Structure 1
Amino acid sequence: MDKMTALTIFVAAAEHGSFSRAAEQLGKTPSAITKAVAHLEAELGVRLFERTTRRMALTEAGTLYLEGARQALMHLQRVTEEVEQLQHELRGTLRITAPPSFGPAFLNQVCCRFMREHPQVRLEVNLNDANEDLIDGGYDLSLRDGPTDQPELIAQPLIENRVILCASPDYLARRGAAITLENYAQHDWLLLRHPLLNRSFWWIERDGQSLRVRQPTPRLLSDNFDFLLACLLDGQGLQFVPTWCAAPYLANGQLVEVMPEYWRALSAFGPWVHVLYLPHRRNTRKVQTFIALLHEHLRGQGLESAARR
């Protein structure tokens, strides 16, 4: 029996907690499962399972070996896909994780175009703020605007993460468009609550220098960016919005940038939105094709793409 088949059997047995259930899933006999596991145990010189008449459980060595076996099988599957794609159209699965706010801002459009152009690829897109681990989550790439101090990952800058002050035309007509450092506290503010954001001060850019500004009491405070954005579009106040999010609303007139000479700044989450992936995915055509579409779409939105730097 070849090594990869034995690893596949071992992983199935560990995940199902039963040789008989693993045999049923793989279409093999229970004796074939037993033989494969025994072959691995003899090769390693350790027991991978503790087995009694009532239960079966991984040993400490088995738990360690399971993680390596999963990674080996996943890597083989991806390499096989990459070899096939050298001569054929893109196929297989592309797994992506990103913050929820990236979806309506630009990721929806990029994913839809990718699916139209590559119908043999299946997308799995997980939108959350958990900053999930690429390895543990089995993701091909991640989009993040927070810290990227993970040396095992490639972090490629995608777009500059600059925030601008925005309001709807209705709000500005009702409350006035001159929001200055003297009167800003008199306005209605929609503020995001997040562990990475200071709750007392903002840092804004003024005449090439950073200026610390005390935050006003918000009219609306929330930990959900999309909720705040909906209220902003409804004319309920002022909000700092990343340029990658504001671009389509500025283009169609739903939002107006307020006094850029006062209120532009780099995001407190970090100066760049990054696309992250594992080093062995560097030359994967699915990953590189998707990243290229991201850059092209963002340039089409008038946003500064890191691909042009």
Structure 2
Amino acid sequence: MDKLSALTMFVATAEHGSFSRAAEHLGKTPSALTKAVAHLEAELGARLLVRTTRRMALTEAGQIYLEGARQALANLHQAGEEVGQLQHELRGTLRLIAPPSFGPAFLGEACRRYMRRHPQVHLEVDLSDTFIDLIDGSYDLALRDGPTELPGLIARPLTENRILLCASPAYLQRKQLPVTPDNLAEHDWLMFRHPLLNRHFWWMRQGDKRIRYDHPTPRLTSDNYDFLLACLLDGQGLQVLPRWSAAPYLARGELVQLLPEYWLEPDAFGPWVHLLYLAHRRQTRKVVAFIECLDEYLAEQGLAWRP
């Protein structure tokens, strides 16, 4: 029996929990799937599935073999896509995940460029702060700030995570109070709440001097970055935010950078936003093409990483 077909039928049976449902999904007969699994079990010398009149379950050996079979089929599918794209335009699906704040800041524009240039590629973009393990093969690419020391992954800097203090012209006109290091507590503050961020103080640098500033009492806190950004643009207070997010608003005059002679340390998010991908996908054409779109847009905004 063809090994690839047998693996495909075993994975389908395990995922559907039934020979009949898997057979319907694959367009085959239940007896064909039964023979395929029996062939694999004979080859391995181990039971993969326990079958009773009511249910089907994976054995311990079956659980181990299922993960390997899934990975093997995914690798073959990926290789087939790459071979097909050597002489044709890019096709297939590109799956990526990033924090929600990256979407409106730069990821959305990169995706639109990519779709215009490669109309045969389907994009699946998940915007989530949830930690996702790329090793399971669900995603081709991740964008992430914060810790990147992850086994089996390549992390490449994408853009600097430089933190700015900003306000809108409307707020500065309404408040009529200059912003200085000595009067920060007298201003209205918008605070982003995140598990990786210190809730009590910032470290700020001026030249070689490192200064600790306690957080002022905020007028508004939220765990939703886009909600706070809208309030910042509406003139509701001061906010610290990364340059990659503030850049277009600063260029249009919708925000003003305050205390530019001070540099705020980026806290646990780290100094860089990184691209993360599996080592065997670094030369995948659809991944390389997407990274080119990201780098191109960030370079236009003056935000690109320079090695």
TM-score, structure 1 as length reference: 0.96
For structure 1, which segment, 25-34 or 90-99, has the greater mean C-alpha deviation from structure 2 after superposition?
Answer: 25-34
Matching residue of 1:181? 181
Alignment of 1:114-125 (within 5 A): 114-125=114-125
The equivalent of 2:201 in structure 1 is 201
1:250-275 per-position Cα deviation (integer Å, ceiling 9, x unaligned)? 1111111112113x324211000000
1:158–1:272 contact (8 Å) kept in structure 2: yes
Instruction: Measure how far apart 1:212 and its partner are.
Output: 1.2
Query: Are residues 137 and 175 of structure 1, via their aligned partners in 2, closer, same or farther at CA, if it must alter by over 3 Å?
Result: farther
Letter in 2 for 1:237: G
The alpha carbon displacement at 1:131 in A equals 2.1
- What stretches of structure 1 of length at least 5 have no aligned partner? none
Match of 2:95 in 1: 95
Question: Could you tell me which residue of structure 1 aligns to residue 112 of structure 2?
Answer: 112
Residues 157, 273 of structure 1: 8 Å contact kept: yes
Partner of 2:172: 172
Query: Which consecutive unaligned segments of at least 5 residues does structure 2 have?
Result: none
Q: Shift of the alpha carbon at 1:21?
A: 1.0
Deviation sequence 1:32-77 (CA, Å, 0-9, x none): 1011000000011011111112211111111111111111111111
Partner of 2:156: 156
For the 8 Å contact 1:141–1:287, the answer to whether it is kept is: yes
Aligned-partner SS, 1:204: strand
Instruction: Tell me how far apart the structure 2 counterparts of residues 182 and 170 of structure 1 sit (CA, whole Å).
Output: 22
Residues 281 and 287 of structure 2 are in contact (CA less than 8 Å); yes or no, is this contact kept in structure 1? yes
Q: What is the TM-score when the length of structure 2 is the normalising length?
A: 0.97
Q: Residues 131 and 144 of structure 1 are in contact (CA less than 8 Å); yes or no, is this contact kept in structure 2? A: no
Give me the whole-angstrom Cα distance separating, in 2, the residues matched to 1:175 and 1:94: 47
Describe the SS at the equivalent of 2:273: strand
**Over residues 217-272 of structure 1, what are the superposed CA-to-partner deviations in whole Å (9 max), with x where a residue is unaligned?**
1111111111111110110000001000001111111111112113x324211000
Distance 2:17 2:110 in 1: 40
Q: In 1, Cα distance between the equivalents of 2:178 and 2:260? A: 11
Seq. identity, %: 69
Residue 261 of structure 1: SS of its match in structure 2? coil
**Residue 296 of structure 1, CA deviation:** 0.8
Specify the alignment match of 1:267 in structure 2: 266
Q: Does 1:86 align with 2:121?
A: no
Equivalent runs, 1:246-285 vs 2, <5 Å: 246-262=246-262, 264-268=263-267, 269-285=269-285
SS at match of 2:113: helix
Q: CA deviation at 1:177?
A: 6.1
Counterpart of 2:28 in structure 1 is 28
Residue 37 of structure 1 corresponds to 37
Could you tell me whether the CA contact under 8 Å between 1:178 and 1:259 is conserved in 2? Answer: no
Q: Give me the whole-angstrom Cα distance separating, in 2, the residues matched to 1:177 and 1:149.
A: 43
Please give the alpha-carbon distance, in whole angstroms, between the structure 1 residues aligned to 2:177 and 2:98.
Answer: 34
C-alpha change, 1:240 and 1:137, in structure 2 (3 Å) is farther
Q: Report the residue type matching 1:4 in the other structure.
A: L
Matched with 1:236 is 236
Q: Distance in 2 between matches of 1:132 and 1:176?
A: 45
1:21 is matched by which residue type in structure 2?
R
Query: Post-superposition shift, 1:137?
Result: 5.8
Query: Residue 190 of structure 1 corresponds to which residue in structure 2?
Result: 190
The aligned amino acid for 1:194 is: H
Runs of 4+ more than 2 Å apart: none
Q: 1:136 Cα shift? A: 2.9
Aligned-pair distance for 1:294? Answer: 0.6
Secondary structure at the aligned position of 1:274 is classed as strand
Distance 1:45 1:177 in 2: 79
Question: Is the Cα contact below 8 Å between 2:156 and 2:276 reproduced in 1?
Answer: yes
Aligned residue pair count = 306
